[in-house]
Structures are given as C-alpha cells and as structure tokens.
C-alpha cells in the first residue's frame, strides 16, 4: 500500500497550570496520577484517512517519576 501524503497536520499540546488549553483533574487523580503534559498530533491524509500519536505524561508520586502513556493509530472510513 502506498503511503498517502499528509494534507493537514495538527499539533495539540496541553500543560498543567496553563490558563489556556490547560489540564484539569479530579482530586483523586491530582493526588495519585497527576497529568503534567498532554501531546496530540493528528494527520489528515489525502486518502481521507487520519492518524494520531498521543503522549500523556503522568507524575506518579509513589515512583517519583514521569510515566508516558502513549498511543498511535491510523483510521480509515470503510463502507
């Protein structure tokens, strides 16, 4: 299958503490798995499919470290 040339690329970041496009959590998540940063890249391809890559960066106090929860996929309309 030939790789489609990207038509549009969107970069959508969010940071904790930002007054615009920030991150909010409920009390439990804020204390146990605090989301520090969220990054989402969406690409719309010429064949009308789209793909995304996502990285949610969580501070986990018990580990004293940032955990990267990542996901990526390409979706196509069928039917």
Q: What residue spans define the domains of the chain?
A: 33-73
Nearest residue to 23 (alpha-carbon basis) of 6, 46, 33, 5: 33
For the chain, which residues score pLDDT lower than 50?
Answer: none
User: Residue 2's pLDDT is what?
Assistant: 53
The phi and psi torsions of 24 (rounded to 5 degrees) equal -120, 150
Nearest residue to 21 (alpha-carbon basis) of 8, 11, 9: 11
Chain-centre distance for alpha carbon 55: 4
Reported as type and span, the H/E element at residue 54 is strand 50-60
Reported as type and span, the H/E element at residue 29 is helix 27-32
What DSSP designation does 33 have? S
């Amino acid at each position: 299958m030939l790789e489609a040339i990207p038509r549009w690329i969107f970069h959508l970041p969010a940071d904790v503490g930002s007054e615009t496009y920030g991150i909010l959590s409920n009390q439990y998540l804020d204390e146990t798995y605090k989301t520090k940063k969220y990054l989402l890249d969406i690409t719309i391809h010429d064949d009308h499919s789209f793909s995304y890559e996502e990285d949610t960066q969580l501070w986990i106090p018990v580990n004293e470290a940032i955990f990267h929860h990542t996901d990526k996929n390409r979706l196509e309309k069928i039917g």
